[in-house]
Amino acid sequence: MNYSDFELLQLQAYALYVHDANNRLLRVNESDFDDPAPRFFLARTVAGNIWRIRYDLPDDLATELERLAATEPVVHDLHEPPYHIAKYTEWLHQHAPLINTDTGPAYYLPELDPPTGTVTVKPENMTLLQTNYPYTLSTLDERAPVVVVVEHGVAVAACYTARSTTRVAEAGVYTIETYRGHGYAAETVRGWAEAIRATSRVPLYSTSWANKASQAVAMKLGAVQYGVDFSIT
């Protein structure tokens, strides 16, 4: 199914975070973690913006953040920082010390050529993950599909489902350091995206502006940027 950029922005927010009945953020959307969501989340596309506030912020602060986010201009250059970034940062710092501020592009993966040299992890070969990806092995049901590159009998690069809903899925990818620079990450993402599309979901890939290697993977795959995420925890 095809979605507009603005629709993808909304779908991604529900994939990333668990929301309460008031559309406030509760936690990250991973059942095996109880990590809190960011206190403020702003996602932008050239067609409009969305924003979310964490459920436990004081009502007066939440109201002010909502009011300010509603005036955030729609921009055509998604590299531009949020217009009100200084105010968001100031108000949240007054509430509590800042733990993390993150921002980066959000992509969707179009239909891609089939991967080469990858293996899809299934119950009969899941021990491929044991050496380098024990956590992914222990959460295989939730992380599936998991697509790997195998060297010397073990997985050395892997792409897995980081967070998902019934309509979209976010990629998580990691290559063991000594095996980087061989294009393995891109091939695992290629295989993962193919498997996600087979389930009638849209494969998404997001990263930070600081992670040039991750952006290079996106560019190699022809990923299409539909938005940019900004969050303060």
Question: What ranges do the domains of the chain cover?
Answer: 5-107, 119-224
Residue 31 pLDDT:
76
Tens of pLDDT, residues 157-170: 999 999 999 999 99
Q: How many CB atoms lie within 10 A of CB 167?
A: 15
So what's the pLDDT on residue 134? 97
Q: Which of 114, 57, 49 shows the shortest CA–CA distance to 232?
A: 57
- The per-residue pLDDT for 34 is 75
pLDDT of residue 35: 81
Helices (H) and strands (E) in the chain, counts: 7, 11
Residues of the chain with pLDDT below 70 are 1
b/e 37-50 (16+ beta carbons within 10 angstroms → b): bbbbbbbbbeeebb
Domain 119-224 annotated CATH 3.40.630.30? yes
Output the pLDDT for position 227: 98
pTM of the model: 0.94
Interatomic CA distance for residues 184 and 159, integer angstroms: 10
Structure tokens at 178: 């000594």
**Quick check: 105 and 225 in contact, CB under 8 A?**
yes
